[in-house]
Amino acid sequence: MHPGHSIGAVYLYRPAIDFRKSIGGLSALVEQELGLNPFGDALYLFINRRRDKLKALYWHRNGFCLWYKRLEAERFAWPSTEAGELTCVLTMKELEWLLEGFDLWAAKPHKTLQYQSVT
């Protein structure tokens, strides 16, 4: 995001938001609805209903930074709100994949096998 700025955690807010919200509304949502500190080293991601616009909010030294991305032809993959949790935590690598268009929730890893013996 900002050169030289380290992000400790990435919180993805699952429900779609009203994209008229800007820094004040988004930081209040982080603090009041999520109970998280908007002034910490975390980045907060928000999506619109059509899932073609994304906003990222984070605090850098002495002010908020608001990053906005609009897709022209595609949609962002986004987790469902049915899980009951308002947020999910991503790594920076997962954030990169999300911005590149990968669906992090459709991919499934290999099954874990539990063996007791080799013979």
Task: List phi, psi (to 5°) of 33.
Answer: -85, -40
pLDDT at 17: 94
Per-residue pLDDT tens digits for 23-82 = 999 999 999 999 999 999 999 999 999 999 999 999 998 999 999 999 998 898 888 777
Name 58's Cβ contacts closer than 8 Å, sequence gap at least 6.
1, 2, 5, 7, 42, 43, 44, 64, 65, 67
Contact 29, 17 (CB under 8 A): yes
39 by DSSP, 3-state: which? coil
- Higher-confidence position of 82 and 19: 19
Write out the two tokens for 58. Answer: 């984070």
Q: pLDDT tens digits, residue range 75-91? A: 988 887 776 788 889 88
**SS3 state at 104:** coil
